[in-house]
Chains A and B, each alone.
Chain A
Amino acid sequence: MTDPLIRMENVTYTYPAGTGKPALAGVSLTVRPGEYIAIVGANGSGKSTLARHLNALLVPDHGDVWVNGWNTRDRAHIRDIRRTVGMVFQVPDNQIVATIVEDDVAFGPENLGVPDAELPARVAQALAAVGLEEHAHRASHLLSAGQKQRLAIAAALAMNPLCLVLDEATAMLDPAGKAELLRTVRRLHDAGTTIVAVTHSMSEAAEADRIVVLAEGHIAAEGTPAQVFADAEVLHQCGLEPPPVARLARLLAGRWPDFPTDILHPEAFADVVHRFLAAPPTAQGTHAAANRAENATAAPPSGEDAEEPWVSLGDVHYTYMRGTPLETHALRGVHMKAHAGETVAIIGPTGSGKSTLLQHLNGLLRPDSGRARVLGHDLTDPRADVRAVRKRVGLVFQQPELQLFERYAGDDVAFGPLAFGASIDRARDCVRRAMNAVGLPFEAYKDRLTLTLSGGERRRLALAGVLALEPQILALDEPTAGLDPRGREDLIALLRQWRTSDRTIVLTTHNMDDVALLADRVYIVADGKIAHVGATRDTFANADLLAEFGLGLPVATALAHALARRGYPIPTNVLTLEELAHAIVRLADERVRV
Chain B
Amino acid sequence: MSASEFELLRTVTLGQYLPTASPIHRADPRVKLAAGMLLVLAVTATSSLAGLMLALTLVVAGFAIARIPVGYALSGIKPMLPFLALLGIFQAIAIPQNDANTTVYWRWAFITLTTRDAVAVALLFAKFSALVWGLSLLSFTTTTTELTHGTEHLLRPLQRIGLPAHEFALTLNVALRFIPLLAQETERLMKAQASRGADFGAGRGWNFIRRFRKLIPLLVPLILATLQRAEDLILAMEARCYTGGKGRTHLVHFQARAADYALLALVVVVLAAAVAAGVGSADTLVWRAISTIWR
**B185, chain A: closest CB distance, angstroms:** 8
Residue of B nearest to A95 (CB): B236
Determine if B148 is an interface residue (Cβ-Cβ < 8 Å): yes
Q: Which of A55, A79, A403 contacts B188 (CB 8 A)?
A: A403
Are the C-beta atoms of A111 and B240 separated by less than 8 Å? yes
Alpha-carbon gap, A400 to B192, bound state (A): 8
Binds B, one of A39-47, A82-90, A563-571: A82-90
Alpha-carbon gap, A371 to B129, bound state (A): 48
Chain B residues with CB below 8 A from A366, complex form: 2-3
Instruction: Give the contacts of B230-261 with A (CB-CB under 8 A).
Output: 232-233, 235-243, 247-253
Determine if B181 is an interface residue (Cβ-Cβ < 8 Å): yes
Determine if B198 is an interface residue (Cβ-Cβ < 8 Å): yes
Are the C-beta atoms of A405 and B3 separated by less than 8 Å? no
Are the C-beta atoms of A103 and B10 separated by less than 8 Å? no
Determine if A466 is an interface residue (Cβ-Cβ < 8 Å): yes
Are the C-beta atoms of B196 and A419 separated by less than 8 Å? yes
Binds B, one of A6-14, A231-239, A389-397, A492-500: A389-397
**B219, chain A: closest CB distance, angstroms:** 9
Are the C-beta atoms of A394 and B195 separated by less than 8 Å? yes
Chain B residues with CB below 8 A from A362, complex form: 195
Alpha-carbon gap, A404 to B176, bound state (A): 26
Chain A residues with CB below 8 A from B193, complex form: 403, 415
Are the C-beta atoms of A116 and B249 separated by less than 8 Å? yes
**A17, chain B: closest CB distance, angstroms:** 13
Chain B residues with CB below 8 A from A83, complex form: 241
Instruction: List 12 A–B pairs whose Cβ atoms lie within 8 Å, in order of A's numbering.
Output: A89-B232, A96-B177, A99-B177, A103-B251, A107-B237, A156-B240, A318-B3, A395-B195, A400-B192, A405-B218, A419-B196, A420-B197
Binds B, one of A193-201, A291-299, A320-328, A531-539: A320-328
**Which 5 residue pairs of A and B lie closest in terms of their CB atoms, listed nearest first?**
A419-B197, A94-B232, A95-B236, A106-B251, A416-B196
Query: A89-B236, A95-B236, A99-B173 known; A466 and B196 CB under 8 Å?
Result: yes
Chain B residues with CB below 8 A from A451, complex form: 224
Chain B residues with CB below 8 A from A115, complex form: 249
Are the C-beta atoms of B217 and A415 separated by less than 8 Å? yes
**A443, chain B: closest CB distance, angstroms:** 23
7 further A-B contacts with Cβ under 8 Å, apart from A364-B194, A367-B3, are: A110-B249, A113-B248, A140-B177, A405-B216, A415-B193, A415-B197, A451-B224
Are the C-beta atoms of B238 and A57 separated by less than 8 Å? yes
Instruction: Give the contacts of A287-315 with B (CB-CB under 8 A).
Output: none
Chain A residues with CB below 8 A from B76, complex form: none
Chain B residues with CB below 8 A from A112, complex form: 241
Residues in A lying within 8 Å of B, measured CB to CB = 52, 55, 57, 78-79, 82-83, 86-87, 89-91, 93-100, 102-103, 106-116, 119-120, 123, 139-141, 152, 155-156, 159, 318, 320-322, 324, 326, 359, 362, 364-368, 382, 386-387, 390-391, 394-395, 397-398, 400, 402-406, 415-416, 419-420, 451, 465-466, 469
Are the C-beta atoms of A364 and B236 separated by less than 8 Å? no
Chain A residues with CB below 8 A from B153, complex form: none
Are the C-beta atoms of B232 and A103 separated by less than 8 Å? no
Determine if B128 is an interface residue (Cβ-Cβ < 8 Å): no
Chain A residues with CB below 8 A from B7, complex form: 320-321
Q: Which of B11, B177, B235 contacts A98 (CB 8 A)?
A: B177
Chain B interface size band reads 35 or more
Which residue of B199, B218, B235 has the most chain A CB atoms within 10 A of its CB atom?
Answer: B235
Alpha-carbon gap, A469 to B249, bound state (A): 56
Are the C-beta atoms of B249 and A99 separated by less than 8 Å? no
Chain A residues with CB below 8 A from B218, complex form: 405
Residue of B nearest to A451 (CB): B224
Determine if B1 is an interface residue (Cβ-Cβ < 8 Å): yes
Q: Which of B13, B199, B249, B253 contacts A113 (CB 8 A)?
A: B249
Are the C-beta atoms of A113 and B233 separated by less than 8 Å? no
**A328, chain B: closest CB distance, angstroms:** 10
Are the C-beta atoms of B229 and A93 separated by less than 8 Å? yes
Determine if B23 is an interface residue (Cβ-Cβ < 8 Å): no
Residues in B lying within 8 Å of A, measured CB to CB = 1-7, 10-11, 13, 144-145, 148, 173-174, 176-177, 180-181, 188-189, 191-199, 216-218, 220-221, 224-225, 229, 232-233, 235-243, 247-253
Are the C-beta atoms of B194 and A390 separated by less than 8 Å? yes
**B54, chain A: closest CB distance, angstroms:** 35
Alpha-carbon gap, A405 to B223, bound state (A): 10
Which residue of B7, B194, B225, B239 has the most chain A CB atoms within 10 A of its CB atom?
Answer: B239
Q: Which of A113, A159, A365 contacts B3 (CB 8 A)?
A: A365
Chain A residues with CB below 8 A from B220, complex form: 405
Alpha-carbon gap, A95 to B230, bound state (A): 9
Are the C-beta atoms of A116 and B195 separated by less than 8 Å? no
Chain B residues with CB below 8 A from A107, complex form: 237, 240, 242
Alpha-carbon gap, A398 to B189, bound state (A): 11
Alpha-carbon gap, A382 to B127, bound state (A): 44
Are the C-beta atoms of B249 and A403 separated by less than 8 Å? no
Are the C-beta atoms of B251 and A82 separated by less than 8 Å? no
Which residue of B194, B216, B240, B243 has the most chain A CB atoms within 10 A of its CB atom?
Answer: B240
Alpha-carbon gap, A57 to B189, bound state (A): 31
Q: Which of B145, B148, B177, B243 contacts A141 (CB 8 A)?
A: B177
Which residue of A112, A115, A140 has the most chain B CB atoms within 10 A of its CB atom?
Answer: A112
Chain B residues with CB below 8 A from A420, complex form: 197
**A404, chain B: closest CB distance, angstroms:** 7
**A413, chain B: closest CB distance, angstroms:** 10
Residue of B nearest to A140 (CB): B177
Residue of A nearest to B216 (CB): A405
Chain B residues with CB below 8 A from A120, complex form: 251
**B250, chain A: closest CB distance, angstroms:** 6
Residue of B nearest to A81 (CB): B241
**B139, chain A: closest CB distance, angstroms:** 15
Are the C-beta atoms of A82 and B239 separated by less than 8 Å? yes
**B148, chain A: closest CB distance, angstroms:** 7
Are the C-beta atoms of A326 and B10 separated by less than 8 Å? yes
Alpha-carbon gap, A107 to B5, bound state (A): 39
Chain A residues with CB below 8 A from B217, complex form: 405-406, 415
Are the C-beta atoms of A103 and B252 separated by less than 8 Å? yes
Which residue of A52, A98, A326 has the most chain B CB atoms within 10 A of its CB atom?
Answer: A98
Are the C-beta atoms of B199 and A387 separated by less than 8 Å? yes
Residue of B nearest to A419 (CB): B197
Chain B residues with CB below 8 A from A395, complex form: 191-192, 195
Chain B residues with CB below 8 A from A82, complex form: 238-241
Are the C-beta atoms of A97 and B233 separated by less than 8 Å? yes
Query: A116-B249, A123-B251, A362-B195 known; A403 and B242 CB under 8 Å?
Result: no
Alpha-carbon gap, A299 to B158, bound state (A): 72
Chain A residues with CB below 8 A from B174, complex form: 97
**A556, chain B: closest CB distance, angstroms:** 34
Alpha-carbon gap, A90 to B231, bound state (A): 12
Chain B residues with CB below 8 A from A90, complex form: 232
Which residue of B1, B2, B196, B217 has the most chain A CB atoms within 10 A of its CB atom?
Answer: B196
